[in-house]
Amino acid sequence: MTPSRGSSLPSLASLAQRVGAALKERKETIAVVESSSGGLVSAALLAVPGASSFFLGGAVVYSRRAGKALLGLTAVDVAGMRAETEPYAVMVAGRIRDSHRASWGISESGAAGPSGSPYGDAPGHVCIAIVGATALSRTIETGSGDRAANMDLFARHLLQLFEQALLGGSVD
């Protein structure tokens, strides 16, 4: 788990600009699954001029019902698995990548706050994942129940990890 307050992270808009530029240059595409960031990642990517050349789609999957409707998740797909874990984040990132025929699928699943999740995770807990030319996942703990701040941090952590994966930099 990575504790984080986000002070060293670039702004969401800056990260989205950089990721969008890299995707355009590489002629690659992305599809996004969000939960506790509530669509902030998709919105930031879509704000980049020329987003239609790299952004194929996104979904805010905030419940099992949404997972079934938006990702086609079945009981078999999630057997023995719960949301807000790295295996779940990797699975849904791969699912959205495959369903959109994208180069990359990225996802996050967490508890923004102010209270914890029904799964027992504390507020400020998120699992992020990247699936494409490489597969990466991380668990981030902010230690905060500030919902809006956590949503922003979760989105920035996801885009930063994705940028690192795209550029081949350190992902530690």
- Where exactly are the structural domains of the chain? 2-167
Query: Which stretch of DSSP H or E encloses residue 163?
Result: helix 147-167
Copy the structure tokens of residue 53. Answer: 């050349």
Q: Find how far residue 70's CA is from the centre of its chain.
A: 15
Confidence of residue 168 (pLDDT cuts 50, 70, 90): confident
Confidence of residue 68 (pLDDT cuts 50, 70, 90): very high
> What would the mean pLDDT of 83-110 be, rounded to a whole number?
97
Is the model's pTM score more than 0.75? yes
- Residue 60 above 60 pLDDT? yes
Read off the pLDDT of residues 92-104 as tens digits, 9 standing for 90 and up.
Answer: 999 999 999 999 9
pLDDT of residue 76: 93
Cβ 42 vs Cβ 32: under 8 Å: yes
- Residue 141 above 80 pLDDT? yes
Confidence of residue 3 (pLDDT cuts 50, 70, 90): low
- Residue 22 above 90 pLDDT? yes
> What would the mean pLDDT of 14-29 be, rounded to a whole number?
98
> What would the mean pLDDT of 34-55 be, rounded to a whole number?
98
Cβ 162 vs Cβ 9: under 8 Å: no
> What would the mean pLDDT of 83-97 be, rounded to a whole number?
97
pLDDT of residue 64: 86
CA distance linking residue 88 with residue 107, whole number of Å: 9
Copy the structure tokens of residue 95. Answer: 């699912």
> What is the architecture of the domain spanning 2-167?
Alpha-Beta Complex (3.90)
CA distance linking residue 109 with residue 36, whole number of Å: 6
pLDDT of residue 14: 98
User: Of 101, 95, 104, whose CA–CA distance to 135 is shortest?
Assistant: 104
- Residue 5 above 80 pLDDT? no
- Residue 1 above 80 pLDDT? no
